[in-house]
Amino acid sequence: MKKSIYTLCVVFLLSLLAAAADPAKPPQQERTPDGEAAYKTNCTRCHNTPPSLTERQTRVVVSHMRVRANLTASDAKAILRYLAENARSK
Amino acid sequence: MYSNHVVLTRQRPISPSNGARATEGKFESAMNLRNKLHLLLTLLVAVSMVAQNPTPTGTPNLEDKEKGIAPIPVLTGGIALNSSFDSKEAALLPVVAPIILVPLGKHALIESEFEAESEVVHTEGAWEPVTLEKGVEYAQLDLFLNKYMTLVAGRYATPFNFYKERLDARWIRNLSAEPLIFGVEDNSSNGGMLRGAVPMGSSVQWTYAGFFSALTNNLYVGADRQTGVRTGLFFPKPRFEAAFSFSRRLGEVKFNSYGADFTWNVRRIPLDVRSEALISEAAGDGYWVEAAYRLSSPRFNKFFRRSQAVLRGEQYFGPRVAMDTGLEMPEGDASRIFSGWNYWITDNVRAGVAFGRQFGSNDDHNVWTLGISYRFVR
């Protein structure tokens, strides 16, 4: 039982390591998703309309939602870019 | 050093009495657990250090031209006034829930929500004393360790199923009444959590959140000693997510709870389908299924395009083992069906009305809810 737990932990950590630390072969998740598509895929699952934010506010809110909604880093980045482009100036 | 000391202690030849041996057994067990946690934490930190890309990958990092725009603290949240009417009582439920977000550089964020909810109840021809429930929903530090992992420390919403984390805010939930099984996830934890999302190809993402909470006896930031995990798969193209949750209470009353949830946000039509299930000997079993249809089609007039129809069905079955769990669950078995209507007066102000019929082991009754919510960002 203990060995199984350790094995699972090691496999999990090694898989994360392998996925994250191989710059020579970017995995598929390195794609740059379309911002509007990423917004519609993720944000509109719970939210109807984006609040009117400045770009600076948008950065913080997207960071908050990355944690709360378990967004991938690439999706969060694309959403940020999309919302920043449409942010109100201030 | 600490680990070495523990190993030496375990190997010391002694011949204790039965009682002492049992005590030492518990001690060794605790030390083993600590060793494992230390090992796991060390490995996780090491992985996060190695996995950091040469170029920053945190959310705020955009193109070079955008790097000069620093994030600023944000005050957001919501105010709501809900009411509930059934055959026995009428209740007014004003809620205020401010949220503050404070960025710390590019890889850290402090976020906190304080919620105060009052309950004004009129029953049997008289007003009851007004109660005010207040507390810190979360006050957490988020560290973006790498693209796939965020370390959360402090007080956070317990990640069991999804309603508490994603739909609890009054300006987001489709019906003002929480699901019958919500009591098992309506709590916050004090401790640490590792969470994130890992793309597995272009068509599926693996999401996870594992946590440990320490016992805290405090009026505003109380928490149970518990541990658990929520893990699931999200399919971006059909916008379908299914997840499994587990939590174990480790306080004086020990019990397990198992949860399952799914959300499906249909792309072809503006229909959201959500569901949660709970299995727990001590907390009870139950499920709810909710469908929400936004009438956003151009063929509807302006009023309907700002409207949403909601339908929810749910059942709850009381615990199979009698325990004092401290959870706010329904008294006895219950089934309920709700239909509701939401209308966005503006993008930030929403009004909603719902009618439900509850079938309980004690009585059946109707429930009307009426409410308005306002979301703000400053």
- Per-residue pLDDT tens for A31-85? 567 899 999 999 999 988 777 788 888 999 999 999 999 999 999 999 999 998 8
Per-residue pLDDT of chain B (378 residues; tens, 9 = 90+): 333 333 333 333 333 444 444 445 544 554 455 555 555 445 444 444 444 443 444 444 445 445 567 788 999 999 999 999 988 899 999 999 999 999 998 899 999 999 999 999 999 888 999 999 999 999 999 999 999 999 999 999 999 999 999 999 999 999 999 999 999 998 999 999 999 999 998 899 999 999 999 998 888 888 989 999 999 999 999 999 999 999 999 988 999 999 999 999 999 999 999 999 999 999 999 999 999 999 988 888 989 999 999 999 999 999 998 888 888 999 889 999 999 999 999 989 999 999 999 998 778 999 999 999 999 988
| Helix locations, chain B, DSSP H | 2-11, 18-51, 302-305
The complex scores an ipTM of 0.78
Instruction: Say if the Cβ atoms of B54 and A59 lie within 8 Å.
Output: no
Per CB-CB distance under 8 Å, the chain B contacts of A27 are 199
Which residues of chain B from 17 to 46 reach within 8 Å of chain A, CB to CB? 36, 40, 43-44
CA distance B292 to B306: 13
Per CB-CB distance under 8 Å, the chain A contacts of B62 are 77, 80-81, 84
Among chain A residues, the shortest Cα distance to B347 is held by A49
B146/A contact by beta carbon, under 8 A: yes
Per CB-CB distance under 8 Å, the chain B contacts of A26 are none
Instruction: Say if the Cβ atoms of B71 and A27 lie within 8 Å.
Output: no
Per CB-CB distance under 8 Å, the chain A contacts of B153 are none
CA distance B171 to B348: 8
The pair of structure tokens assigned to A79 is 């959403």
Strands B307-317 vs B89-104: parallel, antiparallel or unpaired: unpaired
Sign of the C-alpha dihedral computed for residues B222, B105, B230 and B210 taken in this order: negative
